[in-house]
Amino acid sequence: MKPLLQDVIRERPLLGDGAMGTQLMLAGLEQGNCGEAWNLIHPDRVLAIQRRYVEAGSDCIITNTFGGSRIMLNRHGEAEHVAAVNQAGVQIARQAFGARDGYVLGDIGPFGGLLEPFGEFTQAQVGSAFEEQAVALVEGGADAIIIETQTSLEELLLGIRAAQAAGAKCIIGSMAYDVTLDGSTFRTMMGVEPERAAEFMQENGAHIVALNCGTRMDMQRALAAVERYKAVSSLPVMVQPNAGQPRLENMKVVYDEIPEQMVRGLRPLLEAGANIVGACCGSTPEHIRAFRGVMDEFLESKGTGVLREGQTL
């Protein structure tokens, strides 16, 4: 039987993948269109992206289902395809690993609105949409559910409860933090500090506490988040910072941190005890390949050993 992700990462760190959205746009997805629908209409293009991450050394692949809830898909006229989109996302990610063993993380992103009383959606509506998506991901064979880019504890809890109801074997909660204007700290858009997020996830049954995306959340800030998480929680930690900061270049958004720059922050993250390290917006297979080299050196220096092709996790 395949070991649980949360158990494996307590023995040695694993490498995640990189950005999907920016890679889909490079593959031809037009701004504002539904990238999750590509799981059905262009599965070959999604597979090609995820295969490049596997070839670069990723141990974990996140499914192309960030906006795969009924609420999000409804905005593109795809609501009737919730189960198909999410199950195809799992199958494509699994296919990307080929004969190699790896972990498929079923992705649940924000529902894209505000809960009552600040917005128009009730907790029941969002919880139902998340549970429908989580069921599809688990039935599709996802090894874990990641509820990502979260800014409020209320929405995060709906995602955790949905994953639990779906029978997910591993649940990852991932917050999106923004650095304050004075640079002194970081918190989510809704004011959640990393310590509170970690405590909340542990109290409510998540297995891994994580961060991804966020304004000015670079490798150094990710290191601070790992330290702050570990100061209050015994949960393993996953981090996925952006590849630097976005800027407009020839009317296209590009990120300013090349692999050689970003990878300099990886060893400190591993030394601090990060259990899964990947990257978020703007990152590429080349970033992950650079990460793989440093992670292999780290594992060898610790006597943990490096997995070779054909070996199991």
Can you give the pLDDT at residue 308?
Answer: 44
Maximal CA-CA distance, the chain = 53
310 has pLDDT over 60: no
Give me 262's structure tokens.
């970003």
- Tell me, yes or no, whether 239 lies in a domain: yes
Rg (CA), the chain: 18
CATH number of 110's domain: 3.20.20.330
Beta strands 177-179 and 186-188 are antiparallel
Q: What does the pLDDT average to over 222-244?
A: 96
- Tens digits of per-residue pLDDT, 158-181? 999 999 999 999 999 999 999 999
75 has pLDDT over 80: yes
Residue count of the chain, please give it: 313
For residue 303, name the pLDDT band (cuts at 50, 70, 90): confident
- Tens digits of per-residue pLDDT, 191-228? 999 999 999 999 999 999 999 988 999 999 999 999 99
- Tell me, yes or no, whether 145 lies in a domain: yes
Q: Which residue has the tokens 């440093």?
A: 294
309 has pLDDT over 70: no
Find the domain containing 195 and state its range. Answer: 5-301
- Tell me, yes or no, whether 267 lies in a domain: yes
- Tell me, yes or no, whether 308 lies in a domain: no
What value does the mean pLDDT of the chain take?
A: 94
- 309 versus 292: the higher-pLDDT residue is 292
Can you give the pLDDT at residue 280?
Answer: 95
Beta strands 14-15 and 276-277 are parallel
Q: What does the pLDDT average to over 28-40?
A: 96
- Tell me, yes or no, whether 311 lies in a domain: no
Q: What does the pLDDT average to over 136-162?
A: 98
What is the DSSP code (8-state) at residue 162?
Answer: H
CA distance 218 to 165: 34
Q: What does the pLDDT average to over 284-311?
A: 83
* Count of structural domains within the chain: 1
Can you give the pLDDT at residue 305?
Answer: 58
- Tell me, yes or no, whether 158 lies in a domain: yes
| Residues paired with 297 in a beta bridge | none
Contact 19, 284 (CB under 8 A): yes
For residue 13, name the pLDDT band (cuts at 50, 70, 90): very high
- Tell me, yes or no, whether 152 lies in a domain: yes
For residue 10, name the pLDDT band (cuts at 50, 70, 90): very high
Closest CA to 102 of 237, 172, 2, 211: 2
- 311 versus 189: the higher-pLDDT residue is 189
Residues sharing a CB contact under 8 Å with residue 225, sequence separation 6 or more, in sequence order: 177, 186, 194, 211, 217, 237, 239
88 has pLDDT over 70: yes
Closest CA to 125 of 152, 154, 147, 102: 154
Q: How far apart are the first and last CA of the chain?
A: 11
Peptide bond into 117 cis (omega under 30): yes
Beta strands 103-108 and 144-150 are parallel
Question: How would you class 79 by CB atoms within 10 Å of its CB: exposed for 0-12, middle for 13-18, buried for 19 or more?
Answer: middle
Q: What does the pLDDT average to over 107-114?
A: 96
How far apart, in Å, are the Cα atoms of 10 and each of 41, 116, 117, 275?
Answer: 38, 38, 40, 7
- Tell me, yes or no, whether 215 lies in a domain: yes
Can you tell me whether residue 33 is helix, strand or coil? coil
311 has pLDDT over 70: no
Contact 186, 222 (CB under 8 A): no
Q: What does the pLDDT average to over 22-51?
A: 96
CA distance 196 to 199: 5
- Does the predicted TM-score (pTM) go above 0.85? yes
Closest CA to 54 of 17, 9, 106: 17
